[in-house]
Amino acid sequence: MQFRVVTLNLEQDHKRWKERRPLILEGLQKLKPDVIALNEVSIIEQSARGLQKGLNSLPGTSYNLVQQTKVNGLAAIEGEALLTRFAVMETANLDYQARDMVAQVARVIVDDRPIDIYVTHLYMSRGDDALRLFQVQQLLTWVDSRNDVSDRIVCGDFNATLDTPSAALMATRFQPSQTRPTAFTPLAGADGLISHPYWPRMDRCIDYVWTAGAIKTIDSGVCFNQPAASDPSLWPSDHAGVWADLEF
């Protein structure tokens, strides 16, 4: 069975969210993914629930939502989320106990087979990779503890390219579906200031769909990588997303 996974960092409710939201919803409607992994969902705006409602308003469309807030001071601000057409058997979460960041997992049934789908967001790209490496080590230990399934997908913003120790460690256990640039777009706020002004535009891959087990990548690419037709400064997010067509 072939199925499609999409991952995207939403940039919370920053930089004209209400104008960006229709671009994201339109893109998801065109992509028709079976699984949608979202980073930086806004808890205040309930952005993941809003996208779920928007998608589920379409005939014949039904997505389940699993959401995990970050911890401590960020718990009321942002989180990670997973939307999926597949039946959800169970969920769990991991507190990295570092920078209030978390990972979540949902075990879903695809063609009568259980798959664990993880969603996470690692320490910021300007920060020390040693902290991201620590988070990847924790993540992989957690994955190993859930050893009653072998088919796994990990999605999200790793804030690291494959030449860094954190992403390189991840690549010893998981295969990235693609490595084309995903960050950073020239998204500008209402004040005209672009996101992450200290980085070049779209020169690195830091967002991934990783696979392991019997799951194979049939095709993959970058999505949400075009601005609004009427406004070249309005992009769906400050990151491009990744789509991947997978099968057993």
Note the pLDDT tens digit of each residue in 15-70: 999 999 999 999 999 999 999 999 999 999 999 999 999 999 999 999 999 999 99
Domains of the chain: 2-247 (3.60.10.10)
Share of the chain above pLDDT 70, in %: 100
Closest CA to 220 of 22, 11, 33, 17: 33
Contact between 51 and 10 (Cβ < 8 Å):
no
Contact between 90 and 107 (Cβ < 8 Å):
yes
Q: Checking DSSP bridges between strand 152-157 and strand 175-176, what pairing results, if any?
A: unpaired
Q: What is the pLDDT of residues 86-140, one digit of tens each?
A: 999 999 999 999 999 999 999 999 999 999 999 999 999 988 999 999 999 999 9
